[in-house]
Amino acid sequence: MPKFPLLSLLSALLVAVLAACAGTNVASNAPATPGAPSLAEVYADNFYIGAAVNARQISGRDTAGLRLLASDFSSITPENVMKWEEIQPGPDTYTWELADGYVELGERLDMWIIGHTLVWHSQLPAYVRETTDPDQLRAYMEDHIRTVAGRYAGRIDGWDVLNEALNEDGSYRESVFYKVLGEQYIVDAFRLAAEAAPNTQLYYNDYNLNNPQKRQGVLRLVKLLQDNGVRIDGVGMQGHYNLNGPPIAEVEASIDAYAGTGVNVMITELDLTTLPNPWDLDGADVNQDFENSPEMNPYPDGLPDSVSTKIADRYADLFDLFLRKDEAVTRVTLWGINDAQTWLNNWPIRGRTNYPLLFDRESRPKEAYDRLLTLKDN
């Protein structure tokens, strides 16, 4: 029985109306381009095609985004609504509405449903972030994981149990969890998640996992769990890439290394920033305020065809790799449905116009989308 019947009813009605309007059966991944196969259909034999969804899509306000979600994707990830600060803002305060709506949306669309994320140093409420007592922090972590993972046991298919616990050199990030509890927090987090949701896959998720040094850190973390007899089912390589890097060979070497430990590999937050960043400029002061800098926001009114083609080429190169590795790669999730919603419009510089995803600001398929639809024909 849905926890919030009105939200659930509105969202269910919307999905049904979208299906009727689009003349599609929402659960069948009918195509965004009538007559063509959908993205999820094209890759159904290889890996799930996922999308991060935001509050506007979960609550049914982004009808164009929901139509694409139903037509072209087979997995969903909550961009923000299940993070600790959103779902448990106080020690005795849980806010379930959007998280429940997210899971109900995934069930209605017959999606592979991801939970993101149980333990992360960012978007953490102050009562946790400022804890110094080990017993108190251990109690907070146990309560959070048992309550959240337990609530959706049997409904969420895979959890990002732990997010971004490593530094670029592969050492442990000095998060509040590591500083107060040591590396044992990693073992405890996965053990608690496995107890709360025994049939849910459990993942470690992080960015720059193509980086050889960070790769060694991941292998050490997976070994720590396996040596302690605690289940880990997959490693999530976030995939916040750009048009020129990281090298395909580096990504491939990491896929092979993680798969070699016996876990699945997933590309969990794929987007390709198309704009320059301060650190790309020789000698740039990254702390300089670049807001409203035309140099940093070169395409405010639209993308040149040459750049659209470069994005398509880069997505094609990456998907060629994922297809070659589809024994190990079980999911490729885009970090958003369309360019209007991407976090990259506001990071690392606020108010820019970025073009990192497969659908444009009006939710129309881009050249990169068309390229991926026909990639396997070549």
**Which positions touch ligand G3I (CB under 6 A)?**
79-80, 122-123, 163, 238, 269, 343
Distance, CA of 111 to CA of 156 (rounded, Å): 10
Nearest-approach distance from CB 345 to ligand G3I, in angstroms: 10
Distance, CA of 257 to CA of 235 (rounded, Å): 11
Please name which of 64, 65, 162, 55 lies closest in space to residue 99, comparing C-alpha atoms.
55
Nearest-approach distance from CB 144 to ligand G3I, in angstroms: 16
User: Parallel, antiparallel, or unpaired for β 158-163 and 201-206?
Assistant: parallel
Phi/psi of residue 128, nearest 5 degrees: -90, -50
Catalytic-residue membership of 164: yes
Distance, CA of 145 to CA of 118 (rounded, Å): 6
My answer on whether omega of the bond before 132 falls inside 30° of 0, hence cis, is no
Q: Which residue is nearest to ligand G3I (CB)?
A: 343
Provide the 10 A C-beta neighbour count for residue 49.
Answer: 24
Catalytic residue among 269, 291, 327, 362: 269
Distance, CA of 25 to CA of 344 (rounded, Å): 32
Catalytic-residue membership of 130: no
Residue closer to ligand G3I (CB basis): 74 or 77 = 77
Residue closer to ligand G3I (CB basis): 288 or 346 = 346
Nearest-approach distance from CB 247 to ligand G3I, in angstroms: 21
Residue closer to ligand G3I (CB basis): 163 or 200 = 163
Residue closer to ligand G3I (CB basis): 22 or 176 = 176
Nearest-approach distance from CB 19 to ligand G3I, in angstroms: 28
Nearest-approach distance from CB 120 to ligand G3I, in angstroms: 7
Distance, CA of 217 to CA of 263 (rounded, Å): 15
Cα four-point dihedral sign 168, 286, 52, 70: negative
Residue closer to ligand G3I (CB basis): 29 or 163 = 163
Please name which of 269, 258, 206 lies closest in space to residue 233, comparing C-alpha atoms.
258
The single-letter DSSP state of residue 225 is H
Question: Could you give the residue numbers annotated as active site?
Answer: 164, 269
